[in-house]
Each structure stands twice: as C-alpha cells, then as structure tokens.
A = this chain, B = another copy of it.
C-alpha cells in the first residue's frame, strides 16, 4: 500500500519557506501586542462541547465544529474559536487576577467547512482581549493596537477600513425605533449581516417577508432602508443620533480620528456573527478589490466570563486570522524576502571532519548558525544545496584553511568572496540572542 503525501483536506503543511512567513507574521504581531502590555496565554485544543453551546452561534456549533466522543464518553470539540476558552480561563482565576488584564494568544482553530479563498479548515488566529475596563478606553486601546499592527507591517491607511457599529444601537433601532418583536428583530439582524452579499431588491423582498403585515403597511422597511443608507452616525434619524449608544460611538470615532486613525468609520450594517457581543463591535476590511472580505473583527462582550458562575467582567477583544492577514500582505506586496535562519553552509574539503567539527563548534558557540554538508560531493553540488535552502553564505573548510585560520566565505546572492579568521566570522555573522 502506498500512503498519500497530502495533508488533511483544508489544512496546510508548513514547509520551512511557509513556516518562515508565518513566523515573520507572528513575530510582528507579538511585538506590537507586547508593546501594549499584553501577555501570552494558551490552552488545550480540545474543549468540552458545553462551553460553545451557550454563545458561539448555532451554525458554527451544529454544522462547522469538529465534535466527537472521547474514549471515556465525553463530548469534546476541537476549538473553532478562542473566546469561550479565554473566558473559561479568566473565570477560573476570577479573584486572583489583577485587572485590567491584558491577554493574547495565537491558537490554531478548526472549522469543518468547504475550503475556499480566505477560509480553511485549520487556521491560526491572533486573539487579543482586555478584561476589566468598562469604559471605551478599552475599545480605543484595542483599535489603536490594531492600527499599529497594520503600520508595523508597512500598510498605509488607504489599504484598509476599520468599520464600527454598536449592538446597543442596533437593538434600540430594531426594537424601539422600528418596533419589531424579538423574532422579527432577529431575522432582520441576520439579513443585515448579509446586506452586501445581495441586491437591494432581494434584500427588501426578504425583509418584507420577515416582518408582519402591519410593519409592511406602516413603512418600517422603508425606514430601515433609509437607516441602512447612512454613511455616518449624523445621517441617522434624530432619535437614533441622540441615543446614548450613538453618542458613545461618535465620541470614540472622534478620538480615533484625533489619533490619526482616519480610516475608522461607522457602518450601520456591521453585525458580527457571534451572539456574545453586547456593545461596540468592529471589523477591518481590505480595500483591495480582490480581498474585499472581513480580515478581522471583534467587540465588547461583557457577559461571557459570567457564564462560568463568577461575577461578569467587562471585556473587549478581537480575533485576526493568519490566512486573511497573509492574503492582505501578499496583495499589497508587504512581505519581505525571507531567507534561511542558517547563516553559513559549511563545505568540507578533504578528510578533515574532526578538525572541521572543532571549528564549527566554535562558530556556533560564538552565536553563528552553521549547517554542515556531510556528503563529500563536488563543491558545486554542495553550493547548489545551500542555494536551494536560501542560505546566505558558504564557508569552505579544508586543511590549509584550518592551519592558516583563514576561511573563504562566499555570498550566494552577490557571488562576492571574502576571507576571514574565526573571530571575524563570529563578529560578522552572529545572531542576536533571544
């Protein structure tokens, strides 16, 4: 029997050139979030099914999770998202933790869905959450942090838009201003979530069937369409503009603009898929026409920690997937050329393994990453191996080189050759200590 070399469908193998790209992205993410004082945590990839049933959203749990029974009869899930997990962990040490609590993680997550552009069955996701801040200082910090991540990757403000909305405002609009009952409001909210995926006529037709005859007669859907055409909070009907949730969101937008985050804007149609959000929500969209889907999103969810039997904790957080981030960086040409972490490829000439090994040990002790070609092939073939591995330089080690302490080093990019003694090699090639 011959086994297949393909990875599991919808998931990726990371060969070193792929892993290098991922590490570049994750290192930048870590660097920025740690600048803001966030600390990394992690958790098992398996979770009990229960923690998703309450708030994750039916479609995801029933149709898109990897759920199975373990050998002890427990229903377990390969996590589809990190928010229930981090809420569980905070609840577990609710009293011992010091607030504001700033946590981040870059877990891998699994969803059973048809693989497509920007959506795979396994992806990694930066999760950043601040716990214990009830004021919009939390939203402000989080959105500044998101903006700083884009800047760290070299992105300009015209490459992406930060859309904001308020669940409280949406609830007030649907329930109080438009007067929908709970079922109508729920159906309309789900429709609005898909507003940009259909024609206006189709949307109106579907909205008409989602509400009672009374609402159709008194023009509630026309009122809704007027609201959905608003480009800023000020365009909304006066009753909505004057609602507290609207004022709070406007104040946040003003501070963001004052902080130079001019690409933050109100988007009345922004709903977010999860049931646990309670107030301001946000999403970032790539402005590139080939990638015009949501890249990342988040918001305030003040109720989730409390589900675990402790006092609730006000929380703002977001998730940012590696696939959408990589697509963004690719499309905007923001990924640098990434070579191997190995600085020198050692080519041995003659029967000098033992002496060469001493030398190479010294280089490594000095902080240089050195790979040795043990094959004894022709020098040209060994150089080709180094080139294929994207290693920057080769060092030739023979009897004369060792006795003279003078080594030829060839730059494989420029073809340039230079001679150094051991100490000079260390000074020129040593890596920074982590």
Contacts and interface: CB of A to CB of B under 8 A. Distances in A.
Nearest to A345: B37
A218 interface: no
A400 B180 CA distance: 53
A45 B122 CA distance: 9
Interface in A107-162: 108, 110, 112, 122, 132-133, 135, 137-138, 141, 144, 148
A372 interface: yes
A88 B3 CA distance: 8
Nearest to A374: B137
B91 A5 contact: yes
Given A8-B48, A12-B44, A44-B122, 15 more contacts: A5-B88, A5-B91, A12-B43, A19-B41, A19-B42, A27-B434, A34-B341, A35-B364, A35-B369, A46-B66, A46-B110, A66-B70, A100-B371, A100-B375, A102-B371
Q: Which 7 A-B pairs have the closest CB atoms?
A: A37-B371, A11-B44, A5-B92, A2-B309, A68-B68, A16-B39, A98-B388
Interface of A: 1-9, 11-16, 19-20, 22-23, 27, 30-31, 34-48, 50-51, 54, 66, 68-72, 74, 76, 78, 88-89, 91-93, 97-100, 102-103, 108, 110, 112, 122, 132-133, 135, 137-138, 141, 144, 148, 255, 259, 307-309, 340-342, 345, 353-354, 357, 361, 364, 367-375, 384-386, 388-389, 391, 431-434
30 contacts: A3-B54, A3-B308, A3-B309, A4-B88, A4-B308, A5-B89, A5-B308, A7-B44, A7-B47, A12-B44, A13-B43, A19-B40, A19-B42, A23-B40, A34-B369, A35-B370, A37-B369, A39-B389, A46-B110, A66-B68, A68-B68, A70-B112, A98-B389, A99-B385, A100-B371, A100-B372, A102-B371, A138-B374, A141-B374, A259-B357
